[in-house]
Structure 1
């Protein structure tokens, strides 16, 4: 397998401060569960298959890794805080010592292209080639209003089996119309899922130290 990596780039900017959201009524949000960690014998994708590159950073907090262009990671960073990875896995420098792994949320669109890209990234992580990463899960952003077509729903279940957790964010009409999301005017369904995702982000202490 080709082990060459894309050229390393400089660390990205420090994480943003996540706003405090008002509580929403307690309702069950479906979070799909899958593999809790890398799996022995798993082979990751090659560069020709579209393997993501890496970049050096000692930044703490949450990272949002878009599996492909237009995944929606920038919107999540704006809403929930954190660092956008620009389609590269974070890695620690050689002199980082016992630096805590980078907490990653993988992001993709819930369409064929997005799910394929998420699957490749999940395989990459599962192969164990990113020891500096602590994958929290996958966030799938719906790419159309209405019920998810059966083929995409089935593919979602398959991909979710390869990552610790999967959140599916329903269609957000204002994102399509304005390019931004206002928390106060969010529709009920995406608000519920984003609230659950915010709670997962809140569990991650930016000042974490290795156990």
Structure 2
């Protein structure tokens, strides 16, 4: 997947002023934006995701940025993942959770995802290891170009972006069918990222 600079700002800089490090060769590459940024203004309170304290642990926390985002569906696909009830997870043991944001590819969903990413980039979200954003198709067929373009802009503010197609079988309650190629790659990426031990000085 091609990565690009965050289009919301002109000169990205990490919170500590350091250049983003090169990720492990076995981990899907992150974009330049991989940590909160200086100078990013947090969204209005009404547009921020809430935070929620969870007990227990998970290899990955899946946070839907709005109702109907596919949060539970995506969590079911990935071993060791848990849905975070549309909230930033805060863990009782004080550890830093790995988080995937998900949204639908309609204007409401993409706008909600943009607000969540702005909240994270401004430092207004709790400390999390944000792996990226997954944008799920909201209807059968090709996503209209204006929405594809907006998804690319929104996704530029995340460490990684996955754009996933509509799955008709899920509409009929069939969760057993082999997922499309895009989902297979997505599951492999997230499984790798969620099980890779963070090394000092890296962004993953």
How far the C-alpha of 1:181 sits from its partner, in A, is 2.2
> TM-score scaled to structure 2, two decimals?
0.74
Per the alignment, residue 192 of structure 2 pairs with 199
CA deviation digits over 1:31-67, x for unaligned, max 9?
A: 884511111011111223x211111235332100000
Which residues of structure 1 form unaligned runs of 5+? Answer: 1-29
1:181 is aligned to 2:175:
yes
Unaligned runs of 5+ in 2: 1-27
Deviations 1:92-141 (A, max 9, x none): 45xx4xx4311000010011111000000000000112342111101111
TM-score (structure 1 length as normaliser): 0.72
Deviation at 1:187, TM superposition (A): 3.4
Q: Determine the C-alpha separation between the residues in 1 that align with 2:143 and 2:169.
A: 19
Determine whether 1:158 maps to 2:157.
no
> What is the alpha-carbon distance in structure 2 between the residues aligned to residue 209 and residue 146 of structure 1?
41
SS at match of 2:170: helix
Matches within 5 A, 1:18-167: 33=31, 35-48=33-46, 50-60=47-57, 61-80=59-78, 81-93=80-92, 96=93, 99-167=94-162
Equivalenced residue count is 172
The answer as to whether partners of 2:105 and 2:135 remain within 8 angstroms in 1 is yes
